[in-house]
Chains A and B, each alone.
Chain A
Amino acid sequence: MKKIKLLLITMLVIGLLAACFSEEGGTVTDTKEGGKTTIKVAYKDDGPSNEVAVKYYETLAEKLKADKDIDVEFELVEVAQGNYSEKLSLLLNSGEIPDLIYFQGGDQQIANQDLLLDLSPYIEKSEYLKDVLDPHHKSKLANYPYLLWVKPVGHKVAVIRTDWFNELNTSEALIANPTPENYKTFFQELVDSGKADYATTVAGDISELDHTFEMAFGINKTWLETDNGFVFSKVSDQEKEKLAFYRDLYANELLDPQFLTKQWDTKEDAFYSGEIGVIAGTNGKVVDFYNSRMKEINGDKAELTILPPAKGVYQGFGATDITKESRGLAISALSENKDLVFDILDYLASPEGQMLDRLGFEGEHYNVKDGEITLTDKYFAEWYSRYWEPIEVDLGTPISDETPMLSAPATESQKVVNQYFEEDNAFLIPEEYVAQWDAMENLYKEYSADIITGKQPLDTFDEFVEEWYAAGGEDLTKLANEKLK
């Protein structure tokens, strides 16, 4: 009896140790079960425990079989809870590389090891994808062909409650001529009228304000062209002027005094409760969410109005970085099903694929009646497109005007962002500069925060510029002038 016990325990221990240590990293094998090819997918929040995600991929597999005779099944990889980019990076670095991977940063290190597929030749040969790409997608793919993200250009757009906006005397002047001065006057009236405690705030990061104001001060690219070559915009005279403006807003209590410690949730709460009058949100879905939440709390009259970007030397929401997509889908270069995975991505850009990806499940997220698609409450509550969101979408059937995919303010935010689209001249920071770049960014963050909040005089900016060049800016500027000339 004792021997049997000992044997069982030994087997248990060996099993435990094997489970702990046997995970050998490497490629994903072409597993076929019942003629089906298994495609491993790593996507944020889409683990096997997410019922909506499981149903999505099951439905996608059915549609692929029916429409394209592609016989696949999807295996969702459970990425550990927490910061997705960090956890995904740990997963990939352990050697487990799924066929299809959604990145939210951290992709460059994987691409540098030749583990991501160059998508350019595939896109060129694609049936649908090549036609839904905007110019900025093409530019990004030309620079970095490993990541694809067919979504509208994203910028932060300033929004305000329409009822408040209509009641302010300075609104008309702001729309007619949105200079930084007129913005300040508008903000001042917003506070003086007692509507909001502070005109605007950000979630700890002043760059949210930059989307509205930066270009008015002449910052239209990351590297500004001067008579002496290219200069990094954050150490330019234009930057100093912009910081002086923010400093003025802060000193006049128009910018929330606690903007440095605000989080995204406390920022939104302050907006809905009326403590703050204007906040910035990403065009499209985020503005849509702000709008529906604001109406839910303060009634339909509080629907949001989109404010224009400030006008000065230039006007716009800032240049769009085209070095690469900051997030998106990639295919593992080690996958044995590369062509198949790309075919799936291509299918998702087709009208049939878009019906699923954009609208969800029929009868649940939308209904088709009298030749029109009506979106349900469940669609607005839980659905989002996991893959492609081209601006022009052909679903074959029109969507009812009563239930548009995006609210009027959200649609307007998309429109204005596209109207002011401009390409940036930023380039990828080489790996050997990563530590220096981190130090230079921290220098900027701290000096700019101190200047805006009045802890340091405006002239400290010159001290910052000197320190920035000494911390590695000199080398980087030299590199920029070589790359951009």
Chain B
Amino acid sequence: MRVKLKRMREDWVIYFMILPAIVFFAMFHVIPIIEMKLAFQNYRIIGENTWVGLKHFEILFSSPAFKDVLWNTVIISTMKIIFIFPIPVVLSLLINEVRSGTYRKYVQSISYLPHFLSWVVIAGIWISFLAPDGGVNIIRNFFQLPSIDYMTSKEHIRWVIVFSEMWRSAGWDSILYIAAIMKISPSLYEAAKLDGASTLQQMRFITLPALASTVVTVFILNLGFFMNAGFDQVFNLMNDSVISKIDILDTYVYRIGLLNGQYAYATAASLFKGVIGLFLILGTHFFSKKMTGKGVW
């Protein structure tokens, strides 16, 4: 302990550099947890808030709208986990196999680009792309298939949410896995090649096992955000015809809490969301630890 403190004193400049991150973390993550007590109060701008116990939770859980948005959130988040989570892993494996350096950089840059676009722009692109006279329907019509108005279709809108998110985030999310692949010793691949392993076998027996701990960690951390089904995305892609299919907890909290000024009610909904996220992280961590010996810590 004394040695540690001594080292910290010696390297104080380095420790000092993490101070902004600590302040940021305290302001945006620790203080809001303390202020979550608002979920049990009636908010007053001036003067003391009054304690109301579980009143806001009772209203929340008795509201049929809340049950619908909760269900939508679970469905959309599950779809995103199942269909989007593996894509960056696959993409990183594929990018790793590209031998031409220039082409590889080109593919990486192109796949990262959508990440830098705002959802307002992405929504505009997807709405025109999926419109009855948009690109997708031109292709459908070419094959004598009827046009589908994907944006107003209750059957398709959740898939639009999944694919548009996949398009936006797959490239960027693959950076972590590409970095993990870069850390693998080339001697392992060389030895495998000498033993006659094919490219697929190298991927299966060297790359994937080396990626496993990163994949598990990212998966567990992602589960913490399970109830964040994507406010910006849904807000920009929603229209009157598909409200019942994609109205999620975050858009509901925004409408009721921010637009109607029901801050305590909105805090109750957010607290509920946070508690579910916490249980999911802890549950998955302990499950993973038991099954594979790997977890977040």
Q: Say yes or no: B46 contacts A115, CB within 8 Å.
A: yes
Cβ of B199 within 8 Å of any chain A Cβ, yes or no, is no
Interface stretch (choices A49-57, A91-99, A142-150): A91-99
Q: Say yes or no: A450 contacts B241, CB within 8 Å.
A: yes
Q: Say yes or no: A434 contacts B262, CB within 8 Å.
A: yes
Q: Say yes or no: B59 contacts A435, CB within 8 Å.
A: yes
Cβ of B275 within 8 Å of any chain A Cβ, yes or no, is no
Residues of B165-210 at the interface with A, using a CB-CB cut-off of 8 Å, are: none
In Å, the complex CA distance between A110 and B154 comes to 38
16 contacting pairs across A/B (C-beta < 8 A): A16-B23, A86-B258, A93-B263, A109-B260, A115-B46, A206-B240, A260-B152, A261-B127, A435-B59, A435-B256, A436-B65, A446-B242, A449-B152, A449-B239, A453-B152, A471-B64
In Å, the complex CA distance between A90 and B261 comes to 9
Cβ of A334 within 8 Å of any chain B Cβ, yes or no, is yes
Residues of A197-251 at the interface with B, using a CB-CB cut-off of 8 Å, are: 204-206
Contact with A along B240-272 (1 / 0, CB 8 A): 111110010000100110111111010000000
Cβ of A407 within 8 Å of any chain B Cβ, yes or no, is no
Interface centre among A17, A442, A448 (most CB of B within 10 A): A442
Taking the closest CB of chain A, its distance from the CB of B156, in whole angstroms, is: 12
Q: Say yes or no: A113 contacts B46, CB within 8 Å.
A: yes
Q: Note all chain B residues with C-beta closer than 8 A to A17.
A: 23
In Å, the complex CA distance between A446 and B265 comes to 25
- Known contacts A26-B46, A204-B239; 4 additional CB pairs below 8 A are A16-B23, A85-B259, A435-B63, A442-B243
Q: Say yes or no: B261 contacts A108, CB within 8 Å.
A: yes
Instruction: Spell out A's residues near B (CB within 8 Å).
Output: 9, 13, 16-17, 20, 25-27, 85-86, 89-90, 92-93, 95, 97, 105-106, 108-110, 113, 115, 204-206, 257-258, 260-261, 334, 431, 434-436, 438-439, 442, 445-446, 448-450, 453, 455, 471
Q: Say yes or no: A258 contacts B65, CB within 8 Å.
A: no
In Å, the complex CA distance between A362 and B46 comes to 43
Cβ of B19 within 8 Å of any chain A Cβ, yes or no, is yes
Instruction: Spell out B's residues near A (CB within 8 Å).
Output: 16, 19, 23, 27, 43-46, 59, 63-66, 127, 131-132, 149, 151-152, 154, 239-244, 247, 252, 255-256, 258-263, 265
Q: Note all chain B residues with C-beta closer than 8 A to A204.
A: 239-240
Q: Say yes or no: B241 contacts A93, CB within 8 Å.
A: no
When A17-B23, A434-B260, A471-B64 are in contact, do A449 and B43 touch as well, CB less than 8 Å?
no
Interface centre among B23, B151, B154, B259 (most CB of A within 10 A): B259
In Å, the complex CA distance between A448 and B240 comes to 8
Q: Note all chain A residues with C-beta closer than 8 A to B152.
A: 260-261, 449, 453, 455
Interface centre among B65, B131, B154, B244 (most CB of A within 10 A): B65
Q: Say yes or no: B65 contacts A257, CB within 8 Å.
A: no
In Å, the complex CA distance between A384 and B95 comes to 55
When A106-B261, A261-B131, A450-B241 are in contact, do A93 and B65 touch as well, CB less than 8 Å?
no
Q: Note all chain B residues with C-beta closer than 8 A to A86.
A: 258-259
The 4 closest A-B pairs by CB, nearest first: A109-B261, A439-B65, A449-B240, A445-B240
In Å, the complex CA distance between A461 and B167 comes to 38
When A261-B131, A455-B241 are in contact, do A435 and B265 touch as well, CB less than 8 Å?
yes
Q: Note all chain A residues with C-beta closer than 8 A to B27.
A: 20
In Å, the complex CA distance between A9 and B19 comes to 11
**CB-based nearest A residue for B151:** A261
Q: Note all chain B residues with C-beta closer than 8 A to A115.
A: 45-46
Q: Note all chain A residues with C-beta closer than 8 A to B149.
A: 257-258
In Å, the complex CA distance between A13 and B20 comes to 9
CB contact between B64 and one of A13, A113, A257, A439 (< 8 Å): that residue: A439
Interface of chain A, helix or strand or loop or mixed? helix
Taking the closest CB of chain A, its distance from the CB of B126, in whole angstroms, is: 10
In Å, the complex CA distance between A448 and B64 comes to 20
When A115-B45, A449-B241 are in contact, do A260 and B65 touch as well, CB less than 8 Å?
no
Q: Say yes or no: A93 contacts B23, CB within 8 Å.
A: no
**CB-based nearest A residue for B237:** A261
Q: Note all chain A residues with C-beta closer than 8 A to B154.
A: 455
Q: Say yes or no: B151 contacts A25, CB within 8 Å.
A: no
Q: Note all chain A residues with C-beta closer than 8 A to B247.
A: 442
Q: Note all chain B residues with C-beta closer than 8 A to A16.
A: 23
**CB-based nearest B residue for A467:** B64
Q: Note all chain A residues with C-beta closer than 8 A to B242.
A: 446
Q: Note all chain A residues with C-beta closer than 8 A to B265.
A: 435
Q: Say yes or no: A446 contacts B45, CB within 8 Å.
A: no
In Å, the complex CA distance between A90 and B258 comes to 8
CB contact between B243 and one of A27, A89, A435, A445 (< 8 Å): that residue: A445
Q: Note all chain A residues with C-beta closer than 8 A to B261.
A: 89, 93, 106, 108-110
CB contact between B256 and one of A434, A453, A471 (< 8 Å): that residue: A434
In Å, the complex CA distance between A185 and B59 comes to 50
When A93-B45, A93-B263, A97-B45 are in contact, do A442 and B64 touch as well, CB less than 8 Å?
no
Taking the closest CB of chain B, its distance from the CB of A306, in whole angstroms, is: 27
**CB-based nearest A residue for B20:** A16
Taking the closest CB of chain A, its distance from the CB of B27, in whole angstroms, is: 6
**CB-based nearest A residue for B242:** A446
Taking the closest CB of chain A, its distance from the CB of B109, in whole angstroms, is: 29
**CB-based nearest B residue for A442:** B243
Q: Say yes or no: B240 contacts A260, CB within 8 Å.
A: yes
Taking the closest CB of chain A, its distance from the CB of B189, in whole angstroms, is: 48
**CB-based nearest A residue for B265:** A435
Q: Note all chain B residues with C-beta closer than 8 A to A26.
A: 46
Q: Say yes or no: A439 contacts B19, CB within 8 Å.
A: no
Q: Note all chain A residues with C-beta closer than 8 A to B252.
A: 438
CB contact between B241 and one of A85, A113, A446 (< 8 Å): that residue: A446
CB contact between B255 and one of A110, A261, A438, A445 (< 8 Å): that residue: A438
Q: Note all chain B residues with C-beta closer than 8 A to A97.
A: 45
In Å, the complex CA distance between A445 and B245 comes to 13
Q: Note all chain B residues with C-beta closer than 8 A to A106.
A: 259, 261
**CB-based nearest B residue for A97:** B45
Taking the closest CB of chain A, its distance from the CB of B197, in whole angstroms, is: 51
CB contact between B239 and one of A25, A92, A260, A439 (< 8 Å): that residue: A260
**CB-based nearest B residue for A455:** B241
Q: Say yes or no: B63 contacts A95, CB within 8 Å.
A: no
CB contact between B45 and one of A110, A431, A448, A450 (< 8 Å): that residue: A110
**CB-based nearest B residue for A16:** B23
In Å, the complex CA distance between A109 and B43 comes to 10
In Å, the complex CA distance between A26 and B44 comes to 12
**CB-based nearest B residue for A437:** B260
Q: Note all chain B residues with C-beta closer than 8 A to A9.
A: 16
Q: Note all chain A residues with C-beta closer than 8 A to B23.
A: 16-17, 20
Q: Say yes or no: B132 contacts A257, CB within 8 Å.
A: yes
Q: Note all chain B residues with C-beta closer than 8 A to A95.
A: 45-46
When A435-B63, A449-B152 are in contact, do A13 and B241 touch as well, CB less than 8 Å?
no
Taking the closest CB of chain A, its distance from the CB of B153, in whole angstroms, is: 8
Q: Note all chain B residues with C-beta closer than 8 A to A449.
A: 152, 239-241
Taking the closest CB of chain B, its distance from the CB of A149, in whole angstroms, is: 19
